[in-house]
Chain A
Amino acid sequence: MSTEEYPEIEITLNVNGKDYTVKVKPYERLLDVLRYKLGLSSVKEGCGRGECGTCAVIMDGKLIASCLVLAIQARGKKILTLEGLAPPGKLHAIQKALLDTYAMQCGFCFPGVIMAMKSLLDRNPNPTEDEIREALSGNLCRCGSYLRFIKAAKLAAEYIRKGQVYFEFKG
């Protein structure tokens, strides 16, 4: 059967707090739906095989590779991407901490890295360095901001523990 013969299926999924109903082909990946049907292009494709972490999103509370999940498997699930991390006009503590530690380089891995940090801090409000390393071990960063990620995760955890979850920003 060639690709065009597959029928499209209608699915509903909740992304960043909002329900979306989209038509998808059975072979379409969650990654494609997020990027191209919902326009959430913070979700990146770095390898398409779950090896790099640039497409990581949080699905029903778990950090997953959206390139390895079919769109139909995400039916009815709650998904969080970087776009939904903070209210409009605000920075989340993780974003603030990454700026404070001057971690930014090319930024292509950042959406995935931020989701991995969010997933960690949701489970563990005060992670050790080893726990941070383990939690981010599926997110490759070729520019080499890793040491800053460790600092930033600790700082973000501190902000959140103090109740500072969102921050105002300029620009």
Chain B
Amino acid sequence: MDLSGLKDKLSYVRKVNDNIAIGALTTPEDLAETFLHKDKKYLGFYDIYKKFASPILKPLATIGGNIGVAVSASDYLTFLLTLNAKVKLVSVEGERLVSLEELVVEKRTLAKDPNELIYEIIFPELPENYSTAFMKIDRREVIVTGYITTAVCLKIENNKIADVRIAFDRVNKRIPSRAKKTEEFLKGKEFSVDIIREAYNKVLPAEMVRKSDFRASGEYRLDLSKVLMKRTLLQAKSRIVEGV
């Protein structure tokens, strides 16, 4: 269905109470104009933008569409999972709010009625001492799906991991998901490369099932997940502590 007539109406980023709402038809190009690309807490959005498809698609793709297709390569979906985002669905019968995690059940499958439209995405504003990061790696720099992608949302207090959420393009299903056991392991611990290493070597492999396809092997993808987990966490931490 062509929703472009609604474009102006559903393209926005707003602060509502303690939440941030993004209209479903907001494009990556639109997002780039908002505070989400400047506020160091939300630089994960900027990271996605840099690696998102290619410049000629940034004004055409929408954040609602990215979630709607529900595939591993849905970078916004992966990232929004770390923000505990919810989705507002609207139909003639009314509207309802459902968590992103519950909405996306399988590859290309959403837990919603066909007549329900993705209206907006809502997530709680991040308090101080939080930041985010997103990384994607592939053979070339852009116009890629990514061998894997990783998104994190981190809170550091007195060099402790006060809160952490880590999402990958897949953990054990064919959709972006959170690595919750790994998160649990890290929570409350002193932030260090050693503890991250322990988390990705001991905990992550227990909850992650990586598959092989013609582009890369499961073994490589698992190891790359470890590397990007480390790098996104270091990046988020640097954004919190150093401001860059």
Contact = CB atoms under 8 A, between A and B. Distances in A.
Per the CB under 8 Å rule, do A and B touch in the complex?
yes
Interface residues of B, number: 14
Contact of A138 (B4, B50, B57): B57
A56 B141 CA distance: 20
Nearest to B57: A50
Interface in B104-163: 141-143
Interface in A57-115: 59, 62-65, 68-70, 72-73
B55 A63 contact: yes
Contacts of A72: 2
A138 B142 contact: yes
Given A62-B29, A65-B60, A69-B60, A135 B55 contact: yes
Contact of A63 (B50, B56, B141, B142): B56
Given A137-B142, A138-B142, A138-B143, A53 B54 contact: yes
Interface residues of A, number: 23
Contact of B2 (A51, A62, A73): A73
B53 A134 contact: no
Interface in B13-72: 29, 50, 53-57, 59-60
Interface of B: 2, 4, 29, 50, 53-57, 59-60, 141-143
8 contacts: A50-B56, A50-B57, A51-B143, A53-B54, A65-B56, A65-B60, A73-B4, A138-B54
Interface of A: 50-51, 53, 56, 59, 62-65, 68-70, 72-73, 116, 119, 134-140
